[in-house]
């Protein structure tokens, strides 16, 4: 048995995964992954990192971030699972920090206004 099959990562939506038919589409499911609860890359069926952020204190704009599944918690959003392939492969994304970098890199903007 390969090491990745001993400690697989299992990611399911906590509520939607229990629905018939669509439940299997709401998360990536079970996949082999290296590591265990006793290694630097701690991962298991019920254990693993929620997201990965690496701060570069010399230049915050060179920090990186990766979410396990995606930026949206809305199942039908195109961003619901858009970061899963990168997380699973161990890749990450640049995390713009300064107002100038955020303005340059943003693709969407949501403004919430109180009533």
Contact 71, 86 (CB under 8 A): no
Hey, how many other C-beta atoms are within 10 angstroms of the C-beta on 94? 12
Predicted local confidence at residue 1, as pLDDT: 46
Predicted local confidence at residue 63, as pLDDT: 95
Q: Domain ranges for the chain, please list them.
A: 1-48, 50-107
Predicted local confidence at residue 35, as pLDDT: 66
Residue showing tokens 């010399």: 58
CA angle, residues 48, 7, 72, in degrees to nearest 5: 35
Backbone angles phi, psi at 51, to 5 degrees: -150, 170
Residue showing tokens 């809305």: 74
**For each of the chain's 115 residues, which pLDDT tens digit applies?**
455 667 777 888 888 889 898 888 888 888 887 766 676 666 666 666 667 788 999 999 999 998 888 888 888 899 989 998 988 888 889 999 999 999 999 988 889 999 9
Predicted local confidence at residue 42, as pLDDT: 66
Task: Determine the Cα–Cα distance for residues 12 and 18; give it in Å rounded to an integer.
Answer: 9
Q: Can you spell out the DSSP letters for 27-86?
A: S-EEE--S--TTSSS--BTTB--SEEEE--TT-GGG-EEEESS-S---TTSTTSSTTHHH
pTM higher than 0.85:
no
């Amino acid at each position: 048995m390969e090491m990745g099959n001993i400690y697989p990562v299992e990611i399911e939506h906590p509520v939607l995964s229990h629905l018939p038919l669509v439940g299997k589409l709401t998360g990536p499911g079970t996949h082999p992954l290296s590591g265990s609860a006793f290694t630097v890359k701690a991962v298991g069926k019920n254990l693993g990192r929620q997201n990965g952020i690496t701060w570069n204190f010399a230049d915050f704009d060179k920090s990186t971030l990766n979410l396990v599944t995606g930026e949206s918690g809305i199942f039908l959003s195109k961003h619901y699972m858009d970061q899963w392939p990168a997380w699973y492969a161990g890749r990450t994304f640049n995390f713009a920090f300064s107002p100038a970098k955020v303005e340059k890199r943003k693709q969407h903007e949501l403004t919430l206004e109180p009533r």
